[in-house]
Each structure stands twice: as C-alpha cells, then as structure tokens.
C-alpha cells in the first residue's frame, strides 16, 4: 500500500479549502509538509488530483471520483479508532443546521442525544439552508438539517418534519384587526423578510408566486430575531416559522395574520452526501430528532 491515512486527510483538507496553506493550518502542519505529502501521493500513483491555477487548487475529474472513496476510508478509520479507544467515545458528530432549526430545535435534541451518549462531542454550526447544504457537500459537517429542498445531485434529502410559515405584524399595525389578508392587502404591505437564499424565503416566494413582482420588500435579514424586532418596531409585516413566533403570539407582542388559499407549509430535511458511508452517530442523531414523545 503506497498511501497513508495522513496523506488522505491532507488530500481531503486541500479539496475542502482549495488551498494548501489553509489546509495545512487546519491540520496543524507546515505548508511545505502538506504540499510534499500531496506531491508524494500523486507521484506514487502517477495521477493529478488537482488542477492548479495560481494558489487555488480545483479537483480534477480523477480527484472528484477519489474524494468520496477517501472520505469513506478516513471515516472507517476514525470509527475503528473510536472502537479501539472504547465504546464511550463513539457518538462524536458535526451537525450543520439552518437558523430556525439550529436556534429553536437542535439544542433540545442535543440534550436527548447527550443523555444517551454522554461522552460524545457534538458541534452544531448554524447557517442558512444553502450554506448548510454546501457544508454537507464539502464534508465540513456529517449531517445537515435544512428548511428547503436544495437541489444538487450529490445531496440526499431525507424528509424529517412539517413546518408552517406565519405572516405577522405588531398589535398596532393597521392590518392587525383584519381576520385575513386580501391580495390588495398583501401588495400594499411593507414586507420584512429573510434573505433570498434561506429556506423560509423560498417557501414564501412559492406561496406568493403570482404577487412577488408587486411586493414591497422593505428589509431583508439573515436572522429571525432581527425580523421580529423590526416588525415589533412597526417597520412592516414579517413572515417566519410558527416555531419562532409561538411565544410572541402568546404574550401578544406580535399578531398572526391569515392568508387564505396561500399554502405556506414546508418540510424540514436531513441532508447527507450521496454515496458516503453513514456513520453510526448519524443514525443515532436522526433517531433522536425523530422521537415523538
């Protein structure tokens, strides 16, 4: 066998960052050592794993094919090492979660997961759905939890749970006393929404597809709390997951508005890279998040 696991780890890190210097820093080694390891690996098999353009490295077609296989080997090796160290070490996991899921759901599932696997290390990285999908595809996280159907042939989406978006305003807004909004109300309102790449925005755009060109989109934010604060301040009407708004509706700080015949239901998904060996910890995490009790 002409290669080592360390060479594969270096190859995968360079593939992730497309830069030897950044990969070396992440692996706590010198740039020259990382470059030498990659060169040795390529020369041993007379193959070019990357196309070089200045300091940027892009995977060659051979590199793209071998990346998944290298990921499988390194994952198996890590699981074997965990088994050697003892059962209590098994369960480590890196999770990527969209803002709504990460800030309002994931922590409660984490508590249950750690109760079952108290020695596990779980990292939860929160970003919008498209960024989480990119992290999954780039093997930066083991599993993603997203709000939208991100289309990519390298991504496997597993339906998880249903969610409902709700339009809302503050109690003093002129629309607050209306039981439901007409198309005219929708067009005349000033909207405060999530950014276009978010899962919530994709669902909103789909539900109001015929009216989108006429809407007054006044503000756009990446974070749910910023939208709630702006609506509370009377700057406009918002639209977020009911999960985010439940407590605000109970206290009366915000008021829900109905949009008849506008379907704002959506599905949350687990996101995994296709053709990659699934770690046992991933199955445990999915099982914990799917509990109904």
Q: Please name the residue that has the structure tokens 């046992």.
A: 280
- Look at residue 88 in the predicted model and tell me its pLDDT: 45
- Look at residue 261 in the predicted model and tell me its pLDDT: 86
Q: How high is the mean pLDDT of the chain? A: 90
In contact, 11 and 41? CB cutoff 8 Å: yes
Give DSSP secondary structure letters for 114-159.
HHH-TT--EEEEEE-HHHHHHHHHTTSSSEEEESS----TTEEEEE
- Look at residue 90 in the predicted model and tell me its pLDDT: 67
d(CA 96, CA 271): 9
- Look at residue 1 in the predicted model and tell me its pLDDT: 79
The CATH number of 5-85 is: 1.10.10.10
Domains 5-85 and 163-264 share a fold: no
The CATH number of 163-264 is: 3.40.190.10
Task: Indicate the domain borders of the chain.
Answer: 5-85, 87-161+268-289, 163-264
- Look at residue 84 in the predicted model and tell me its pLDDT: 64
- Look at residue 293 in the predicted model and tell me its pLDDT: 56
- Look at residue 154 in the predicted model and tell me its pLDDT: 87
Q: Please name the residue that has the structure tokens 């498209």.
A: 130
Top CATH class, 87-161+268-289: alpha beta
- Residue in 55, 61, 54, 15 with CA at minimum distance from that of residue 38: 15
- Look at residue 179 in the predicted model and tell me its pLDDT: 75
Helical segments of the chain, H only? 5-17, 20-26, 31-45, 61-85, 99-104, 106-116, 129-137, 183-188, 199-207, 224-232, 242-251, 280-289
- Look at residue 157 in the predicted model and tell me its pLDDT: 93
Q: What parts of the chain have a pLDDT lower than 50?
A: 87-88
- Look at residue 73 in the predicted model and tell me its pLDDT: 87
Exposure string (b/e) for 37-60, b if CB count within 10 Å is 16 or more? bbeebbeeeeeebbeeeeeebebe
């Amino acid at each position: 066998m002409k290669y080592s696991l360390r060479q594969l780890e270096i190859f995968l890190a360079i593939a992730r960052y497309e830069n030897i210097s950044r990969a070396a820093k992440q692996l706590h080694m010198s740039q020259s050592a990382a470059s030498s390891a990659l060169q040795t690996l390529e020369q041993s098999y007379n193959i070019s794993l990357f196309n070089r353009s200045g300091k940027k490295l892009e995977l060659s077609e051979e590199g793209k094919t071998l990346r998944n296989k290298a990921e499988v080997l390194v994952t198996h090796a890590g699981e074997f090492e965990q088994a050697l160290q003892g059962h209590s070490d098994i369960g480590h996991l890196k999770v990527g979660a969209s803002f709504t899921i990460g800030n309002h759901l994931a922590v409660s599932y984490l508590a249950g997961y750690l109760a079952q696997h108290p020695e596990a290390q779980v990292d939860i990285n929160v970003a919008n759905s498209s960024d989480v999908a990119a992290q999954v595809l780039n093997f930066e996280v083991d599993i993603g939890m997203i709000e939208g159907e991100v289309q990519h042939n390298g991504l496997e989406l597993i339906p998880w749970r249903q969610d409902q978006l709700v339009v809302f305003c503050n109690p003093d807004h002129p629309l607050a006393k209306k039981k439901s909004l007409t198309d005219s109300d929708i067009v005349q309102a000033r909207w405060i929404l999530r950014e276009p790449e978010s899962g919530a925005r994709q669902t909103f755009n789909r539900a109001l597809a015929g009216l989108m060109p006429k809407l007054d989109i006044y503000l756009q934010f990446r974070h749910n709390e910023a939208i709630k604060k702006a609506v509370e301040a009377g700057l406009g009407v918002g639209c977020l997951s009911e999960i985010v708004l439940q407590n605000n509706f109970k206290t009366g700080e915000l008021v829900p508005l109905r949009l008849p015949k506008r379907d704002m239901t959506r599905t949350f998904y687990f996101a995994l890279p296709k053709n990659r060996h699934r770690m046992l910890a991933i199955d445990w995490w999915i099982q914990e998040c799917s509990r109904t009790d």
